[in-house]
Structure 1
Amino acid sequence: MFHSSDIYTVTDFSRKPAEHIKRLNESKRPEILTVNGKAAVVIQDAESYEKMAALAEYADSILNIRKALAEEGRELTNFTREFEAKYGIKR
């Protein structure tokens, strides 16, 4: 996801913001901005951020569904066995 070529100083970003924005929009890869040689912030283009946020929301919903099923549901193997017995399905 990150390449060493995607690391810049905050100073470099503040001196050439248009260059960074153009590169972000073209590459669709985030950039790491450093302060005193240490990672300080990550920046990315809006489209990539929206995709990342949507994926995070989707992953969160899957975790919530799994949690609900674990609390209220039953083991898949038990369900499968009961379903197959009820409908006469043989493997």
Structure 2
Amino acid sequence: MLNLSRDIQSLSNFKRNTSEFIEQMKQTGSPMVLTVNGKAELVVQDAASYQKLLEAIEYLETITGIQQGLDDLNAGRVRPLEAFTKEMQQKHGIPSSDY
């Protein structure tokens, strides 16, 4: 969670105290919003927190994809694998692998 008094700083202040702010971000795991002329311009965060964010996004995208598949299944928007395979073979000129 963003702490407004701690995690919003001017870019000038960040430049002057970079090492302190890096340590703060590592300890808290919170990003820092940097302002220029009083307006939010950048968000900075430590690498470990960024990696966790990317993993969380990937997880949520996976869950969303699974939910979409289940919704399609429940709505009848499915077809047999054989029909899909035949369509792709014809569309892309893939020879049949019938044995």
Structures share fold, TM-score greater than 0.5? yes
Q: Counterpart amino acid of 1:74?
A: N
Between the aligned partners of 2:47 and 2:38, the Cα distance in structure 1 is 26
Between the aligned partners of 1:65 and 1:42, the Cα distance in structure 2 is 31
Aligned twin of 1:12: 13
Between the aligned partners of 1:24 and 1:42, the Cα distance in structure 2 is 11
Cα distance per residue 1:38-76 (max 9 Å; x no partner): 1111111111111111011000111111112212x127x
Between the aligned partners of 1:63 and 1:28, the Cα distance in structure 2 is 26
Any unmatched runs of 5+ in structure 2?
76-99
TM-score (norm 2): 0.69
Aligned twin of 2:2: 2
Q: Counterpart amino acid of 1:20?
A: F
Identity of paired residues, percent?
Answer: 36
User: Runs of at least 4 residues of structure 1 off by over 4 A?
Assistant: none
SS of 1:25's equivalent? helix
Higher alpha-carbon Rg = 2
Cα distance per residue 1:5-29 (max 9 Å; x no partner): 2110011111221111111111111
SS of 2:42's equivalent? strand
TM-score (norm 1): 0.74
